[in-house]
Structure 1
Amino acid sequence: MTAETHDTATTTAGSTTALPLIPGRWAFDPLHSSVGFTIRHLGISKVRGRFNEFETELVVGETPEDSSITATVQLASIDTGNPDRDAHVRAADLLDVAKRPTMTFRSTRIAGAGEDWTLEGDLTIGDVTRPIAFDVEFGGVVDVPVDGSRHAGFDATGEFRRSDFGLDFAPGFLGDVIKVGLELQFVEPR
């Protein structure tokens, strides 16, 4: 059954939602995925960066309620394009990656239709967990002619306050809000 013909529906909040993906465990495609962020510096500009090491798992059920996504980001893999700054951010007086090696996400709710979805879940940094929501744009599913696989693509954006996670270092120099942008691809189960 292809994604185009898969038409499972469920009723949530009075609306019918068709799942755009076939059920199963979709394989993560790390070569075509990224985790990026922006944070204000001195309140006048933005520092952009990314994390180079992360993994995620997408399990699609028959309904959104039966589906889940989890992700783990290695915080030591931070890359802002400035090695000296990255080393400082990893240090004990800032991010302290020895104490907080990972940032994890576990979904609690997936809802939407067509191209627009919402992904809610719990974000954990160190020993602190807080809720977070992402706006998700579903890019579609395409056949890859080279190997016959089918890939699904998603863009997700969200934000959180670093002070909510005990990361309140350098107030005035760094903004409190961190904006996160994800580009994710997954491969359909065979």
Structure 2
Amino acid sequence: MTSDTSTSTAPATTALPLPAGSWEIDPFHSAVNFTIRHLGISKVRGRFSEVTAGLVVGGSAETSSVTATVALASIDTGNKDRDAHVKAPDLLDVERRPTMTFRSTRVAGADDEWTMEGELTIGDVTRPITLAVEFGGLQAFPGDPRRHAGFEATGEIKRSDYGLDFGAGMLGDVVKIQLDMQFLEPAESAAPQG
């Protein structure tokens, strides 16, 4: 998630390579991962295990949208003591800021390379963000009549933009984000594969 405000040259009528309708997240094949620098010399990696999201595909990219909500208390960095500290009032303060939400405002691109602009809200702070999105394809899953669509989205935020500036000098300000998401085809669009 970057603050890059460059615009795409893709026409506004570019259609997404998916059937129209409301796609729901496949939580078992989706992940919200992040990386942050520690002491400027190494990286701490983690994930949020609880995320809900929806993808609405319209007749064009302009009429398509994505929303997502992440439970901040579901953070997992592989160290329970560290996770407890990150959830505490001096950092994420999950009692006061239980969720992080995303709402797209613009989708543009073509083929398998897309850009999604939107708004990220943590607590009472909302900032614009941009994600680079790679469309992984559309594939049937054994035993499921609905096809799965896969996406990888990457970007970065500055935690100080959201008032999360604890540990400056010890923890990096930039948080790099990688989203691996699968969405399930709307039931009304699903057809027997053969």
Which one is further off, 18-27 or 79-88? 18-27
2:130 match: 133
Q: What is the deviation of 1:13?
A: 4.1
Question: Structure 1: how far apart are the matches of 2:129 and 2:59?
Answer: 24
Question: Structure 2: how far apart are the matches of 1:23 and 1:161?
Answer: 34
Length-normalised TM-score, structure 1: 0.91
1:90 match: 87
RMSD, aligned CA: 1.2
Residue type of the alignment partner of 1:19: L
Q: 2:34 aligns with which of 37, 43, 46?
A: 37
1:112 match: 109
2:63 match: 66
1:56 match: 53
Superposed counterparts of 1:1-190, under 5 Å? 13=9, 15=11, 17-190=14-187
2:4 match: none
Question: Structure 1: how far apart are the matches of 2:10 and 2:153?
Answer: 25
Kindly indicate whether the alpha-carbon contact (under 8 Å) linking 2:10 and 2:110 is maintained by their aligned counterparts in 1. no
1:8 match: none
Q: Percent of aligned positions with the same letter in both sequences?
A: 68
2:191 match: none
Deviations 1:133-168 (A, max 9, x none): 000000010122322221100000010100000001
Residue type of the alignment partner of 1:96: D
Question: Structure 2: how far apart are the matches of 1:68 and 1:120?
Answer: 10
User: Residues 84 and 14 (structure 1 numbering): CA distance in 2 closer, same or farther, change over 3 Å?
Assistant: closer
Question: Structure 1: how far apart are the matches of 2:164 and 2:116?
Answer: 24
Q: What 5-or-longer segments of structure 2 have no aligned partner?
A: 1-7, 188-194
Length-normalised TM-score, structure 2: 0.89
Other structure's SS at 1:49 match: strand
Deviations 1:51-72 (A, max 9, x none): 0111001100001111110000
Kindly indicate whether the alpha-carbon contact (under 8 Å) linking 2:92 and 2:164 is maintained by their aligned counterparts in 1. yes
Question: Structure 2: how far apart are the matches of 1:49 and 1:127?
Answer: 23
1:7 match: none
Q: What is the deviation of 1:83?
A: 0.2
Other structure's SS at 1:149 match: strand
Other structure's SS at 2:28 match: helix
Question: Structure 2: how far apart are the matches of 1:21 and 1:74?
Answer: 28
Other structure's SS at 1:88 match: helix
Equivalenced residues, count? 179
Residue type of the alignment partner of 2:152: D
